[in-house]
Structure 1
Amino acid sequence: MSDIIWRSIAIGIGATVLMDLWAALLYKVFGQQRPNWAPVGRWVWHLRDKVFHDDIGDAAPYAHESALGWAFHYFVGIVYGIILVVVAGASWLTAPTFLPAFILGIVTVGAGWFLLAPGMGAGWAASKRPNPTKIRALNLVSHTVFALGLYGTALLIR
């Protein structure tokens, strides 16, 4: 049982690392702005008081919000790795297939669109941002890369 848990955690970490490498590639090749995890850290810090903000930038700063945002980013990736193994079953670890990872990757976009974005004041699916269509497309692509990371890490550690 502990082997299954550790492998699930590793799958979540591996997928999150690949997603971060993808963001670095987009920055290097296309000049796409890197994700800023500090506002996410501020949002997480303020969850004890409030979930939905008009603008997370107006909330009181937290000294370690960047570190908290990064930690939360990896925590969520780990949780998604565990969810994948729970839903697909432990047998998936011995013979991973892409479809369950892909489905989970796309489903997880919903957490960003319907919890994180409105929670930070960006509106549902970033509707209050000047470029919501671009943000949504990048979210879908990034979460597909995350799915590839889930699958690829599972293949590497099987």
Structure 2
Amino acid sequence: MLAIILKGALIGAGATILMDIWAFLYAVAVKENSPNWAPIGRWFRHLGKGKVFHTDIGLAEPYDHELVLGWIGHYAVGIIYGIAFVLMMGEGWLDMPRFLPAWIFGLVTVAFGWFLLQPGLGIGWAASKTPNPNKVRLLNLIGHTVFGFGLYGTALLIA
């Protein structure tokens, strides 16, 4: 069981790394800023204090190390997703990874962002309070598709 959990952690970390590479390349290609993990770090900090939903995370009490906490939280969630996915799929999938289940799982994980994180940050359900919610939603779906590719690709590398 420990071996499966460790492989799941590696797969989740690998998928998160691929997602970050994609986000960086996208930001360079369209000349936009890369994702800022500081607001997510602030959200994680307040989550630990029992506050889940904010009207505007920018108005919440700041934290000196929120950028670092945001990155740690980002990777922790990716690793947890990897472990959960591998535990759901079992050793058979680890022995012979298949893309479709990884892609579906990656797409399903976007729901946590749309219905927990984004409202928690104060940007609405599925980014409904942002200037261009459909763009955010599309980028979320693409990013989580890349995460699914990362689950599959990392599993192939360690199989």
- State the TM-score, normalizing by the size of structure 1: 0.98
Distance, in Å, in 1 between the alignment partners of 2:43 and 2:103 is: 27
Please name the residue that 1:8 is paired with.
8
Question: Where in structure 2 are the equivalents of 1:36-51 lying within 5 Å?
Answer: 36-47=36-47, 48-51=49-52
Question: Where in structure 2 are the equivalents of 1:94-133 lying within 5 Å?
Answer: 94-133=95-134
Please name the residue that 2:140 is paired with.
139
Write the deviation string for residues 100-140 of structure 1: whole angstroms up to 9, x where unpaired. Answer: 11111000000000000000100000000001000000000
State the AA in 1 paired with 2:92.
Answer: S
Distance, in Å, in 2 between the alignment partners of 1:57 and 1:30 is: 25
State the AA in 2 paired with 1:43.
Answer: W
Q: Cα distance, 1:27 vs. partner?
A: 1.5
Question: Where in structure 2 are the equivalents of 1:51-130 lying within 5 Å?
Answer: 51-130=52-131
Percent identity between the aligned chains? 61
State the AA in 2 paired with 1:5.
Answer: I
State the AA in 1 paired with 2:93.
Answer: W
The answer to whether residue 24 in structure 2 is matched with residue 24 in structure 1 is: yes
Q: Cα distance, 1:13 vs. partner?
A: 0.3
Identify unmatched segments of 5+ residues in structure 2.
Answer: none
User: CA RMSD for the aligned pairs?
Assistant: 0.8
Q: Spell out structure 1 runs of 4+ moving beyond 4 A.
A: none
Distance, in Å, in 1 between the alignment partners of 2:137 and 2:7 is: 30
Counterpart contact for 2:4–2:87, Cα < 8 Å: no
Counterpart contact for 1:84–1:100, Cα < 8 Å: no
Distance, in Å, in 2 between the alignment partners of 1:4 and 1:32 is: 38
Total equivalences in the alignment: 158
State the AA in 2 paired with 1:52.
Answer: F
Range with bigger deviation, 89-98 or 146-155:
89-98
Counterpart contact for 1:113–1:125, Cα < 8 Å: yes
Identify unmatched segments of 5+ residues in structure 1.
Answer: none
